[in-house]
Structure 1
Amino acid sequence: MPLKKQDMVYIRQARAALEENFDKNITIPQLARQVGINEAKLKEGFRELYDQSIHNYLQQLRLEKAKQLLLTTDMSVTDITYEIGYSHVTHFTTLFKKELGMPPTEWRKQNKE
Structure 2
Amino acid sequence: MSLSKQDMQYIRQAKTILDENFDKHITIPQLARQAGINEAKLKEGFRELYGNSIHTYIQQLRLEKAKQLLLTTTMPITDITYHIGYSHVTHFTTLFKKEVGVTPTEFRNKGK
TM-score range, shorter chain: over 0.9
Q: Give the distance between the partners of 2:53 and 2:79, measured in 1 at CA.
A: 27
Describe how 1:64-83 pairs up with structure 2 within 5 A: 64-83=64-83
Consecutive unaligned residues in structure 2, runs of 5 or more:
none
SS at match of 1:106: helix
Normalization by structure 2: what TM-score? 0.98
Task: Give the TM-score of the pair, scaled to structure 1.
Answer: 0.97
SS of the counterpart of 1:94? helix
Tell me by how many angstroms 1:97 deviates. Answer: 0.1
CA RMSD after TM alignment: 0.5
**Aligned residue-pair number:** 112
Identity %: 78
- Give the 4+ runs in structure 1 shifted more than 3 A: none
1:26-65 Cα shifts (integer Å, max 9, x gaps): 1110000001100000000000000100000000110000
Unaligned runs of 5+ in 1: none
Partners of 1:22 and 1:49 lie apart in 2 by 19
Q: CA deviation at 1:84?
A: 0.1
